[in-house]
Structures are given as C-alpha cells and as structure tokens.
Amino acid sequence: MEPVKKTAGIGKGTAGPGRPKGIPNKATQSVKEAIALAAKGLGGVDRLIAWAQEDPANERAFWATIYTKLVPTDISAAVSVDGQLSIRVVHE
C-alpha cells in the first residue's frame, strides 16, 4: 500500500508552501531600503568618498569590506573543442 501524500493545508495546522523561489524576503528588502535611505541622508556617495579619504584605515575598510561585496563570487571559464573561450561570471 502506497503512503498518502499530504498536501499543504494552510489554516489546518500543517505547513504551507512557503515563499515562492525568487521572491525576496520582505524583512530583508525593508532593511536594505532603510539602509539605502540612511546612506542618502548621511550624504550618499560624496560623504562615503570623504569618509574613505579621512583616514587610511577607512580606505582599507572600504576596499576590504565594502567594495568586495560588488566583486563576483563565482567565475568559471571553459574552452570548447573549436578553441572558443567562454567565461561565466555569477553575481550574487
């Protein structure tokens, strides 16, 4: 005898289907928006540049922790039979 497959029973005490793939978490999205607004209120790009130039430690922090968030995390390359080089860069 085959086991009976349970379906999501929202409101019936069982787990629902969860957030669909590709839909961002609302809390994370709200926090990112708040940080962007705060950065704009604190002077935006011009203030970030001024901060980095105030002290060599600030500039190191910029390059080591802030800028690295923009660098791709996955780079792969392959050469095909006909000699074509393809490079794939994945940004997260």
Residue 3 lies in a domain: no
Number of domains into which the chain is organized: 1
63-75 pLDDT, tens digit each: 999 888 877 667 7
Asked if the model's pLDDT at residue 43 lies above 60, the reply is: yes
Residue 59 lies in a domain: yes
User: Which residues face 74 on adjacent strands?
Assistant: 90
Q: How far is CA 85 from the centre of its chain?
A: 28
Residue 7 lies in a domain: no
Residue 83 lies in a domain: yes
Length of the chain: 92
Region 33-37 average pLDDT: 91
| Residue span of the structural domain in which 59 resides | 26-90
Asked if 82 and 63 touch (Cβ cutoff 8 Å), the reply is: no
Calculate the average pLDDT of the chain.
82
Residue 57 lies in a domain: yes
Residue 20 lies in a domain: no
